[in-house]
């Protein structure tokens, strides 16, 4: 039963990412999943519940897992590795889809729709964003105390900038594939600017 539920989530997420939530009907889901309406409703009471479950499974749960395992005493390098681990997991999850043309615009549109439609989901995402920001602050303070980065920087602003590196990412190159290696380079280059010379 768990495998069937996972399959439903994956195929539904593919459809939502490609067409947008409002353009996917129950009939579309039935056709893509090759199951009857009754079977679909056995697992999820309606399309809203299925969409909520998809967004939680593919976007919130991986981030929550990674942030809960983050080392509170890590510096910036450790925090960069934590975020890259999260992004690698996201990339691997997206690569399990049969359709490989899902890009950052698809994902951003889905998240905007989900957070507008489900305030509870938005609150969960906000809590995770605050947790990430807190971890960046601690990493910056750690490296400042260790003399690894400049002391004249505004830690709050730098923590926000680190979170925005990921949050505002869009390759803008018209590519269909998301390339998270660009993020690794951006994190590293920004970190270099903070280091003591």
pLDDT per residue as tens, the chain (197 positions): 568 898 999 899 989 988 889 999 999 999 999 999 999 999 999 999 999 999 999 889 999 999 999 999 999 999 999 999 988 887 777 777 776 666 667 777 888 999 999 999 999 999 999 999 999 999 999 999 999 999 999 999 999 999 988 766 544 444 445 567 788 888 999 999 999 87
pLDDT of the residue at 169: 59
Integer Cα distance of 127 and 20 in angstroms: 25
Task: Tally Cβ neighbours within 10 Å of residue 11.
Answer: 19
Integer Cα distance of 171 and 131 in angstroms: 26
Joined tokens for residue 51: 């969409």
pLDDT of the residue at 175: 43
Integer Cα distance of 108 and 30 in angstroms: 25
User: What are the CA-CA distances from residue 126 to residues 48, 115, 134, 159 (Å)?
Assistant: 20, 10, 12, 16
């Amino acid at each position: 039963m768990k495998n069937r539920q996972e399959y439903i989530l994956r195929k539904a997420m593919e459809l939502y990412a490609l067409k947008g939530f409002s353009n996917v009907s129950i009939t579309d889901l039935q056709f893509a999943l090759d199951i009857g309406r009754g079977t679909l409703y056995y697992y999820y009471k309606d399309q809203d519940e299925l969409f909520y479950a998809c967004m939680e499974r593919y976007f919130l749960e991986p981030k929550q897992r990674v942030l809960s395992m983050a080392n509170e005493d890590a510096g910036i390098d450790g925090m960069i590795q934590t975020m890259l681990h999260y992004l690698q997991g996201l990339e691997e999850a997206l690569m399990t889809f049969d359709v490989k043309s899902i890009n950052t615009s698809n994902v951003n549109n889905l998240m905007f729709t989900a957070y507008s439609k489900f305030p509870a989901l938005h609150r969960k995402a906000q809590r995770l964003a605050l947790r990430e920001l807190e971890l960046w602050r601690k990493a910056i303070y750690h490296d400042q105390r260790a003399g690894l980065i400049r002391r004249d920087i505004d830690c709050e602003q730098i923590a926000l900038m680190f979170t925005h590196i990921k949050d505002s990412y869009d390759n803008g190159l018209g590519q269909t594939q998301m390339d998270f290696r660009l993020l690794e380079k951006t994190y590293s280059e920004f970190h270099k600017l903070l280091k003591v010379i």
